[in-house]
């Protein structure tokens, strides 16, 4: 009789554990359905992506947008198109507050959603699968003062590189911005040179014109994207393939902000 009770107790425990795991896994899909309903209710386009084998290098999309931004704002999000074909490096440079970081986040989120078997925030999206998606974004300065921002950033990058493979995707937002453009460009040039030789997929946002201009002349397997500038008007948040420009339009931004402050 005691053995029967033990068997029943074990069965009940296993059933409860399974039910708990099922509830946890199901909540992910419920969240995905809620996201789908919210985006479509706002009139945002969604589509099912077309994955490409991980040993290939491919990325293309039309009307891609950032879904997290789309559910926070009251208007239709700005969308962008891109055709990379077999290129492995994407270098995003140009105007301040032109939407570069949002653009990078949009690509990363769409890639992640595709690999989870979900819809993507675009009218079309086709990309190579990857075994890992790594991000390298700036952090706040070390409060313990054990190291400076550059030291901390290099340490994080060193740990990340150990896990990169030929089928990984690395997203970098304004790396080495804590140092001078000259010094930051030197470090980034070495990194991109190695990534280019190994055909690693790296998508990077930078405001270093020296770096972007060097890459434009040296790296054949790179695509270059910059914000479309609208003189005198609000930012378009549209990005297009073009040669890097020798300005981030910081002066235009300065005059714009000063005019707004003078009105207040």
The pLDDT of residue 145 is above 50: no
The pLDDT of residue 259 is above 70: no
Question: Do 213 and 242 meet the contact criterion of CB atoms below 8 Å apart?
Answer: no
Contacts of 67 (CB under 8 A, 6+ apart): 35, 39, 44, 109, 121
- Of 250, 232, 242, 221, which Cα lies nearest the Cα of 57? 221
Q: What is the pLDDT of residues 115-142, one digit of tens each?
A: 999 999 999 999 999 999 999 987 655 4
From its phi and psi, is residue 100 left (phi > 0), alpha (psi between -120 and 50) or beta? alpha
- pLDDT for residue 89: 97
Segments making up each domain of the chain, as ranges:
46-250
Rounded distance, CA 255 to CA 245, Å?
Answer: 20
Beta-bridge mates of residue 169: 133, 201
- Of 173, 45, 27, which Cα lies nearest the Cα of 101? 173
> pLDDT band for position 10 (50/70/90)?
confident
**Which is more confident, 6 or 241?**
241
What's the pTM? Answer: 0.84
**Which is more confident, 155 or 107?**
107
The mean-pLDDT minimum among 64-68, 73-77, 94-98 falls in 94-98
- pLDDT for residue 7: 73
- Residues 99-120, mean pLDDT to the nearest whole number: 96
CATH of domain 46-250: 3.40.50.300
- pLDDT for residue 6: 75
User: Which is it for strands 124-128 and 59-64: parallel, antiparallel or unpaired?
Assistant: antiparallel
Task: Enter the tokens of residue 199.
Answer: 């055909």
- pLDDT for residue 4: 67
- Residues 67-75, mean pLDDT to the nearest whole number: 89
**Which is more confident, 46 or 27?**
46
**pLDDT above 70 coverage of the chain, percent:** 86
């Amino acid at each position: 009789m005691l053995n029967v009770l033990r068997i029943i107790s074990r069965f009940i425990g296993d059933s409860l554990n399974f039910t708990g795991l099922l509830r946890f896994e199901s909540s992910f899909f419920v969240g995905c359905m809620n996201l789908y309903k919210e985006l479509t209710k706002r009139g945002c386009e969604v589509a099912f992506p077309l994955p490409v084998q991980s040993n290939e290098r491919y990325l293309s999309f039309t009307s891609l947008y950032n879904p997290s931004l789309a559910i926070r704002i009251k208007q239709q999000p700005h969308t962008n198109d891109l055709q990379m074909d077999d290129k492995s490096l994407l270098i995003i440079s140009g105007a301040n507050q032109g939407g570069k970081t949002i653009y990078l986040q949009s690509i990363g989120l769409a890639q992640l959603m595709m690999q989870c078997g979900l819809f993507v925030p675009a009218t079309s999206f086709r990309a190579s699968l990857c075994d890992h998606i790594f991000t390298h974004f700036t952090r706040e300065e070390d409060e313990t003062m054990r190291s400076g921002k550059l030291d901390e950033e290099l340490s994080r990058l060193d740990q990340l590189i150990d896990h990169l493979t030929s089928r990984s995707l690395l997203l970098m937002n304004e790396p080495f911005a804590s140092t001078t453009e000259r010094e930051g460009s030197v470090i980034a040039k070495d990194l991109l040179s190695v990534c280019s030789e190994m055909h690693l997929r790296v998508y990077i946002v930078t405001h270093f014109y020296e770096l972007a201009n060097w890459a434009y002349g040296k790296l054949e397997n790179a695509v270059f994207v910059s914000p479309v500038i609208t003189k005198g008007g609000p930012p378009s948040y549209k990005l297009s393939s073009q040669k890097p420009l020798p300005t981030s339009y910081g002066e235009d931004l300065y005059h714009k902000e000063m005019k707004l402050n003078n009105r207040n």
